Every structure is written in structure tokens, then in C-alpha cells.
């Protein structure tokens, strides 16, 4: 037995000397079992190769389908970057990534985040069975599994019933829009209509009221129900179910919401710097008037709600999440910004020097002179933290607009000695 | 050298410098773009007596030698006049009764929408006296545009509608509109336009209020466009200020991008969170450069589109 590897290695060496590359090795179909050869050293892969679900090249013993046995530009001697390599046999993934809502790990080419490349226990070569796999990033899955009422596909680990894990046309990786997708299983019967007061809710977004994963209620309702929705008939806010536009409101949102939330509506309307154009009239852009997952009834968590409009470039830009990078998520949008409008530009809750100083007290004490007495020579505005820092994203370390060693400084101090 | 000759030389010099400065980042990004911009001047105000802009949020040109600007800092309205070799000089600020929102000039007077109070006021020249104009109940006015002899148009954020008025303040038309209207403008034919922030687009309406067209507002940066200022010239070109990228965009009457100017920054000629834009009768463009606390004026350089 000991002589066999020696023979194989000698054979490879001879082929290598003849100038034959890995593709030539494949074409030659030399009388070597690549799989056994590789396992001589990579015996840690034995478990994966013996697993019940194997990657097709592994079944064929074709290690060189993915790896160059001699040298490669890519990690693990891969022939190409994972995204390109995997797509060469899985074009469906490439097509999925072209859709409007790609899954972040797939879009970033991190196939190995979910899949094991050689073999494993789970279908699709997933590293973990369905829900466990998803819960590694989507922490809310754990909470859903603890709820008493679970949507059947969720309870059965069938995430792909509703989601396309690589990319989809609809938010939330939904293969079909919320509503349309639901009626693949749920029928529009009279009983269904009656339960919704005769309103044609099949035209609406089911997730306005229902949690498609799990709930404490039998109807899979979201956990927080807006009191007017719980206690009043739909027609107290909407046109009647038989109207031409049954979901149209009886009056403006400002008037409806302002009946209880007059303070917020007034704040939005009177702010020196309103949120968006008017304030106080488009509450439902951020809030769900029916149900929610917390008392604010936001349509999504706070940062996701803000990013609905304030996302620079979206998932395909390479800047996804850059507006959330400050403090690595330790602060929320509302730490610095007033959601309904404020009396300062950028809806900041306070003067930038004061606001930043709340966390950066040391820098506040030793920083470049700032304040009303110190004018930025570029625009004659008082210098503040934002004069040098980009806060959300900036090209230089410490969120600086330019390299802090020199370029940033000479932006103002153009002539040595001309500035303090 | 006469004042006219001096100004002509100044403009020519700035145009050349502006072209050299901006062309690499504009025309090269949009091959064949027939419009470029040349920065002319930055206007901050006077230090003695101290009348300095701080947070300009809206601007309206009245003539080639006058514009008005709203400053959210202390809720005030300022008129600037071009005094020749003395440059642009601010007149005594007019204190407003509430934080201002939108500004327009209808040929005789400035019109200012006020936040919170649901008020529209006219600031009558030459004494700059404030006169309140009554609006329908429950209107929360925001963006406003005006056109001599045509009237004015404002966005009611409480009712999600555009309301059009005659020059003598009669309510002529109400048009429901979805989305956040950040700017409105009249076009040459008497129809009107609205800029929507998200998704960024321009919608065109006929004189009867029927929407006739809409176009997305392009962005050449990673950030999506966020149109905040809108004006139209006699030829139908639309001038847009993009708050996210600090750029001025020009779309032709069909919605095609034909010019990009300026970029984000602090130095003269650069824009930081522009808030509004207005066109002088002679074609120059005034921008409320909110982040830099100033007004900047650019001239348009029409290039021969070639064969």
C-alpha cells in the first residue's frame, strides 16, 4: 500500500515535467483516483466525502473540477473565486442574483456561508438543516420557533416554499409578492372574505396584519395590534367594502392619525426641517396602521425602515449598509436624527459638536477648534465635527472626508501660516 | 474698462475656468452632453452689518439682478440685489411669523409658505411688507412655484395634492398626488411639474391637471438622486438640484439627461446638500447651497451637439 502514493506522486511529477497542466491531467484521465490521492493529505475531508449528500464532482472523484492541484490565485487552490466557480455549473444562481432583491451572502460570493462544498447531511449541501441555517444570521427565527402558532411551511423547515434563497424579485427574498404568493396555498373562499369583513384583501399585503412565520394568535396576527384596528370596523377609516376603491381612506392620514397622535403630526408639520417634504401626512410610509412587532408599529425594524429610502445604491451597489456602519450598529438612526422632523439640518437632535461629544467625549476635548468662533475657510460656516467627518461613510479611516495625515488638513490650510 | 466690459470679461474667464474644472467629471461621464455649467460666484452676505446666510432652504429669482432666499436660521427672508462692482448685497432681513418652507416669485411679489401654521404669505415689493393669503382649510403648504400672469402652484402635504391658484389668489385646480413632492415648477406651456423624492422622479401635468408624463431622475453616484429643486426654461429643459449628490442636472423636455454640473463639496463651486434651485431670466442658475450656508450662481454653457 505504501508504494501506491509514491507511484502516483511520481506520475504527477512526470506529467508536470512534461508541461501538462491540470486540464491536461483531466483530459488524460490518468489511471489515478484523484479522490484517493487528495485524501492522502486532506484526510479531514473524509467525513464530508462519506456524507449522505455529496457534491456532484465529489461523487465523480473529480477534485480538479474545482481545484488546481498545483497552484492557484484563489484560496483553497480554487480555479476561480467561489461566486464565479459555483456559477459555472449553477447558472440558476446567477439568474437569481440578477433579480432585484439578492441574498447578501450570495451577492457577495460567499457561497460557503450556507453551503459545504464537498458533502454534508443536508439537502442542497446546506451547512445546517433549513431553519438552523437561516437562524445563524436571522436571529428572529429562534423567537419564531418558540411561538405557539406556526405557519406550516415554517414549522416544516420549508423556507423555500416562500423564499428564494439566492435572490428574488420581491423584498424579503419572496418568490412572489406578498398576497399573490399566499394564494398559492390559501383559497379565496366566501369564508375567507367574511373573515375580512368583505374587503378584497387578496389585493392587499397580507403581512400588514399577519406574521408569515409564527404568532401567539391562531390567525397568525402580528404581535402588536393598533387599538383602532382591533376595536373599530374597517369602515371607520376606509371606504366601504363595496366601494370602487374600498381601501381608500375616508379622510387624510394627517386627520386620521392626528385624532390620537396630534403631537406627532404637529411636530412633523411645524418642524423647521421636516422629514421629507411636508411631514404629518404620510405616516403610513413608515408606520403600519394595523399591526406591528413593537409599539411604534414601524413597518420594519427602525434601520430597515429608514433604509427603505435612505439606502445609498441598494444591495447591488457594494455600499449596502454603509449608512448603518457608524458604531457598528451600536447606535440607531434615532440616536442622532429626529424621525418626525427637527429644528436643525439633517434632522439632527442637537448641534453636531454637542451630539458627537455625547459619545466621543475625549475627542471633543482635544479636537481641532470648533464652534461659532471658528469659520471653515471653504464656506465661512462655523466648523463642527461634520466639517471633517462623514459620519455614515467616508473614504478615509475615522470617517474622515480625506486622508487625515495631510489631504484633509490642506483642504483648509492651503498656505502654510495663513491659517491658525 | 466699463462695468459691462468688466462683467463680460469676468464671466468669460469664469466660464473658461469652470469648463476646465467641471468638464472632466461631467461631459466625460455623459458623452455628448450638450450642457455644462460654469461656477460664477458664491454669495454669503455681508459681515458689516452682519447679514449672513446660514441655512438657506429655498430661493427664487426675481430678475437678473435680484433674488430672494429663505433662511431657516431664525426664520427669515432676505432679498439680494446685484449692485454691480459692489457685488450681491443683502437687504434688511424680513422676519417671518413661522419657519418657512417654500418660496416663489410671481412677477410682482414673493410668495412664502410657512410651516405649522398652514399659511401662505406674500411679501410685497418694494417695502417687503408681509400680507397673508387665505388658503382652503387644513392645507399644509410646502413647495411652491409661480409664473407671471399664470398664477402659482403649491403642494399641500396634509392633503397630498397640488393646488393651483390664479394671480389674484383664486383656487383654480386641485390635483391629488402620491409621493413626497419636494419641488414644483411651471413649464413654458402653462402646465406644471412636480419632483418626487422617493423613488426620485419628475412628473409632468397638463394645464388641466392630468399627468402626462413622468421620468426617473438619474444619479451617476451610488446614492439615488433626491431631487429638491426644480425649474424649467422656455425651451422645456428641466433644471434639478440633487440633494444627495450635490449636483445640478438638466433633463430635456423628453426627460433625457443632457447636462450635469457641480459635485458635492465645500469649496466655491461645489454644493453640499443643496436645497433649492432657481433660474435667472438670462439663464444663469442660483442654488440654495444649504450645507455650505450660501447661494451659488452658475452659468449654463450650451455646447454644439454636433452633427
Cβ–Cβ < 8 Å for B39, B286? no
DSSP code for A400: B
Q: Which residue of A has its CA nearest to B43?
A: A379
Residue B156: predicted pLDDT: 92
The model's pLDDT over A152-195, given as tens digits with 9 standing for 90+, comes to 999 998 888 999 999 999 888 998 887 788 988 998 889 998 99
DSSP code for A239: P
Report whether pLDDT(B301) > 50. Answer: yes
The residue length of chain B stands at 307
Q: Which residue of A has its CA nearest to B71?
A: A272
Nearest-5° Cα angle at B266, B110 to B51: 40
Please state the φ and ψ torsions of residue B283, each to the nearest 5 degrees: 100, -15
Contact list, A266 vs chain B (CB under 8 Å): 116
- Which residue from A324, A273, A281, A87 is spatially nearest to B179, judged by alpha carbons? A281
Contact list, A279 vs chain B (CB under 8 Å): 140, 157
Q: Which contiguous run of DSSP H or E holds residue A263? A: helix A262-270
How does DSSP assign A12-38, residue by residue? HHHHHHTT--HHHHHHHT-S--HHHHH
Q: Which contiguous run of DSSP H or E holds residue A215? A: strand A214-215
Q: Does any CB of chain B come closer than 8 Å to the CB of residue A276? A: yes
* d(CA B259, nearest CA chain A) in Å: 21
Residue B14: predicted pLDDT: 43
Please state the φ and ψ torsions of residue A227, each to the nearest 5 degrees: -50, -45
- Which residue from B232, B244, B235, B307 is spatially nearest to B277, judged by alpha carbons? B232
Binary contact (B142, A381; C-beta < 8 A): no
Binary contact (B181, A277; C-beta < 8 A): yes
* d(CA B253, nearest CA chain A) in Å: 25
Name the H helices within A300-341: 302-307, 333-336
* d(CA A273, nearest CA chain B) in Å: 8
* d(CA A12, nearest CA chain B) in Å: 50
Q: Does any CB of chain B come closer than 8 Å to the CB of residue A411? A: yes
Contact list, B52 vs chain A (CB under 8 Å): 380
Q: Which of B72, B158, B268 sits opposite A280 (nearest CB)?
A: B158
DSSP code for A163: B
The model's pLDDT over A346-362, given as tens digits with 9 standing for 90+, comes to 999 999 999 999 999 88
Q: Does any CB of chain B come closer than 8 Å to the CB of residue A233? A: no
Q: pTM for this one? A: 0.79
Distance CA B38, CA B32 (A): 17
Q: Which three cell numbers stand for residue B22?
A: 467641471
Percent of chain A with pLDDT over 70: 86
Asked whether the bond before B49 is cis by omega within 30 degrees of 0, the reply is: yes
Residue A27: predicted pLDDT: 52
Contact list, B138 vs chain A (CB under 8 Å): 252, 254-255
Binary contact (B52, A266; C-beta < 8 A): no
Contact list, B143 vs chain A (CB under 8 Å): 277
Binary contact (A273, B72; C-beta < 8 A): yes
Average confidence (pLDDT) per 10 residues, chain A, 420 residues: 44 44 49 79 86 91 91 91 91 89 88 92 90 89 93 91 91 85 89 91 89 93 93 92 91 88 89 76 89 91 83 57 69 90 94 93 86 94 93 83 89 65
Q: Which residue of B has its CA nearest to A255?
A: B158
Binary contact (B180, A312; C-beta < 8 A): no
Cβ–Cβ < 8 Å for A324, A303? yes
How does DSSP assign B143-182, residue by residue? EEEEETTTEEEEEETTTTEEEEE-TTS-EEEEEE--S-EE
Contact list, A409 vs chain B (CB under 8 Å): none
For chain A, the C-alpha Rg in angstroms (whole number) is 29
Binary contact (A270, B115; C-beta < 8 A): yes
What is the maximal distance between C-alpha atoms in chain B?
A: 57
Q: Which of A276, A284, A382, A390 to mutate to test the interface with B (most CBs of B within 10 A)?
A: A276
Binary contact (B222, A313; C-beta < 8 A): yes
Residues in chain B whose beta carbon is closer than 8 A to a beta carbon of chain A?
A: 42, 44, 52, 54-55, 57, 72, 75, 98-99, 101, 115-117, 138, 140, 142-143, 155-160, 180-182, 197-198, 222-224, 244, 266-268, 272-273, 290-294
Distance CA B159, CA B139 (A): 7
Distance CA A283, CA A266 (A): 12
* d(CA A395, nearest CA chain B) in Å: 14
Find residue B63's DSSP bridge partners: B66
Q: Does any CB of chain B come closer than 8 Å to the CB of residue A271? A: yes
Distance CA A211, CA A227 (A): 18
Distance CA A327, CA B80 (A): 43
Q: Does any CB of chain B come closer than 8 Å to the CB of residue A100? A: no
Binary contact (B157, A280; C-beta < 8 A): yes
In the stretch 21-60 of chain A, residues with CB closer than 8 A to chain B read: none
Distance CA A35, CA A21 (A): 18
Q: Does any CB of chain B come closer than 8 Å to the CB of residue A258? A: no
Q: Which of B101, B158, B292 sits opposite A252 (nearest CB)?
A: B158
Q: Which of B159, B197, B224 sits opposite A276 (nearest CB)?
A: B197
Mean pLDDT for all residues in chain B: 87
Report whether pLDDT(B305) > 70. Answer: no
Contact list, A271 vs chain B (CB under 8 Å): 99, 115
Q: Which three cell numbers stand for residue A31?
A: 489511471
Distance CA A165, CA A113 (A): 12
* d(CA A253, nearest CA chain B) in Å: 8
Q: Which of B180, B244, B288 to mutate to test the interface with A (most CBs of A within 10 A)?
A: B180
376603491: which residue's cell? A245
Report whether pLDDT(B73) > 60. Answer: yes
* d(CA A242, nearest CA chain B) in Å: 22
SS3 B159: coil
* d(CA B240, nearest CA chain A) in Å: 16
- Of the pLDDT bands very low, low, confident and very high (cuts 50, 70, 90), residue B122 is very high
Residue A313: predicted pLDDT: 56
* d(CA B265, nearest CA chain A) in Å: 9
Q: Does any CB of chain B come closer than 8 Å to the CB of residue A251? A: no
Distance CA A64, CA A298 (A): 51
* d(CA A325, nearest CA chain B) in Å: 15
Q: Which of B266, B268, B273 sits opposite A345 (nearest CB)?
A: B273
Q: Does any CB of chain B come closer than 8 Å to the CB of residue A279? A: yes
Binary contact (B72, A255; C-beta < 8 A): no
Amino acid at each position: 500500500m505504501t508504494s501506491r502514493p509514491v507511484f502516483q506522486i511520481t506520475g504527477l511529477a512526470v506529467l508536470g515535467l512534461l508541461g501538462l497542466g491540470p486540464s491536461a491531467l483531466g483530459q488524460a484521465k490518468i489511471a489515478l483516483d484523484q479522490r484517493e490521492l487528495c485524501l492522502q493529505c486532506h484526510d479531514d475531508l473524509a467525513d464530508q466525502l462519506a456524507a449522505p449528500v455529496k457534491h456532484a464532482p465529489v461523487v465523480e472523484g473529480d477534485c480538479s473540477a474545482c481545484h488546481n492541484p498545483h497552484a492557484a490565485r484563489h484560496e483553497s487552490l480554487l480555479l476561480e473565486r467561489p461566486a464565479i466557480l459555483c456559477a459555472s455549473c449553477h447558472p440558476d444562481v446567477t439568474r437569481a442574483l440578477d433579480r432585484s432583491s439578492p441574498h447578501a451572502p450570495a451577492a457577495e460570493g460567499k457561497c460557503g456561508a450556507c453551503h459545504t462544498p464537498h458533502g454534508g447531511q443536508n439537502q442542497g449541501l446546506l451547512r445546517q438543516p433549513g431553519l438552523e441555517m437561516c437562524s445563524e444570521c436571522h436571529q428572529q427565527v429562534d423567537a419564531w420557533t418558540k411561538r405557539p402558532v406556526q405557519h406550516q411551511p415554517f414549522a416544516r423547515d420549508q423556507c423555500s416554499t416562500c423564499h428564494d434563497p439566492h435572490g428574488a424579485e420581491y423584498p424579503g427574498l419572496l418568490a412572489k409578492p406578498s398576497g399573490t404568493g399566499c394564494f398559492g396555498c390559501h383559497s379565496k373562499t366566501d369564508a375567507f372574505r367574511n373573515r375580512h369583513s368583505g374587503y378584497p384583501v387578496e389585493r392587499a399585503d397580507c403581512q400588514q396584519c399577519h406574521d408569515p412565520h409564527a404568532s401567539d394568535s391562531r390567525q397568525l396576527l402580528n404581535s402588536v395590534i393598533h387599538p383602532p384596528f382591533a376595536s373599530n370596523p374597517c369602515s371607520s377609516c376606509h371606504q366601504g367594502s363595496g366601494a370602487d376603491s374600498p381601501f381608500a381612506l375616508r379622510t387624510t392620514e394627517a386627520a386620521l392619525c392626528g385624532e390620537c397622535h396630534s403631537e406627532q403630526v404637529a411636530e412633523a408639520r411645524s418642524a423647521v426641517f421636516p422629514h421629507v417634504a411636508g411631514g404629518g401626512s404620510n405616516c403610513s410610509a413608515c408606520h403600519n396602521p394595523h399591526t406591528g412587532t413593537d409599539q411604534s408599529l414601524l413597518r420594519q425594524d427602525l434601520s430597515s425602515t429608514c433604509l427603505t429610502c435612505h439606502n445609498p445604491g441598494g444591495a447591488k451597489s457594494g455600499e449596502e449598509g454603509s449608512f448603518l456602519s457608524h458604531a457598528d450598529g451600536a447606535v440607531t438612526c434615532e440616536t442622532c436624527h429626529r424621525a418626525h422632523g427637527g429644528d436643525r439640518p439633517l434632522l439632527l437632535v442637537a448641534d453636531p459638536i454637542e451630539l458627537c461629544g455625547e459619545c466621543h467625549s475625549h475627542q471633543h476635548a482635544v479636537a481641532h477648534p470648533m464652534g461659532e468662533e471658528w469659520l471653515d475657510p471653504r464656506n465661512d460656516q462655523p466648523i463642527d465635527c461634520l466639517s471633517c467627518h462623514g459620519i455614515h461613510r467616508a473614504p478615509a479611516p475615522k470617517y474622515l472626508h480625506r486622508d487625515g495625515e495631510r489631504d484633509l488638513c490642506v483642504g483648509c490650510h492651503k498656505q502654510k501660516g495663513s491659517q491658525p | 474698462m466699463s462695468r459691462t466690459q468688466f462683467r463680460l470679461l469676468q464671466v468669460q474667464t469664469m466660464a473658461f475656468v469652470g469648463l476646465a474644472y467641471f468638464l472632466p467629471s461631467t461631459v466625460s461621464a455623459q458623452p455628448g452632453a450638450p450642457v455644462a455649467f460654469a461656477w460664477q460666484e458664491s454669495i454669503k452676505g455681508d459681515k458689516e452689518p452682519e447679514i449672513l446666510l446660514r441655512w438657506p432652504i429655498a430661493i427664487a429669482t426675481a430678475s437678473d439682478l435680484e433674488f430672494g432666499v429663505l433662511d431657516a436660521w431664525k426664520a427669515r427672508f432676505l432679498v439680494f440685489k446685484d449692485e454691480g462692482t459692489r457685488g450681491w448685497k443683502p437687504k434688511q432681513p424680513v422676519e417671518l411669523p413661522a419657519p418657512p418652507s417654500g418660496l416663489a416669485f410671481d412677477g410682482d411679489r414673493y410668495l412664502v409658505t410657512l410651516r405649522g401654521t398652514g399659511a401662505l404669505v406674500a411679501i410685497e415689493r418694494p417695502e417687503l411688507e408681509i400680507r397673508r393669503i387665505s388658503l382652503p382649510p387644513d392645507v399644509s403648504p410646502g413647495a411652491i412655484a409661480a409664473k407671471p400672469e399664470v398664477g402659482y402652484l403649491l403642494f399641500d402635504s396634509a392633503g397630498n395634492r397640488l393646488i393651483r391658484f390664479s394671480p389674484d389668489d383664486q383656487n383654480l385646480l386641485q390635483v391629488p398626488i402620491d409621493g413626497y413632492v419636494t419641488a414644483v415648477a411651471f413649464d413654458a406651456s402653462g402646465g406644471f411639474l412636480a419632483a418626487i423624492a422617493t423613488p426620485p422622479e419628475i412628473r409632468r401635468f397638463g394645464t388641466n391637471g392630468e399627468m402626462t408624463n413622468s421620468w426617473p431622475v438619474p444619479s451617476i453616484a451610488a446614492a439615488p438622486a433626491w431631487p429638491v429643486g426644480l425649474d424649467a426654461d422656455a425651451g422645456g429643459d428641466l433644471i434639478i438640484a440633487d440633494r444627495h449628490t450635490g449636483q445640478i442636472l438638466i433633463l430635456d423636455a423628453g426627460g433625457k439627461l443632457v447636462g450635469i454640473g457641480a459635485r458635492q463639496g465645500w469649496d466655491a463651486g461645489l454644493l453640499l446638500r443643496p436645497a433649492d434651485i432657481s433660474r435667472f431670466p438670462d439663464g444663469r442658475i442660483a442654488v440654495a447651497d444649504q450645507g455650505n450656508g450660501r447661494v451659488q450662481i452658475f452659468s449654463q454653457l450650451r455646447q454644439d451637439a454636433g452633427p
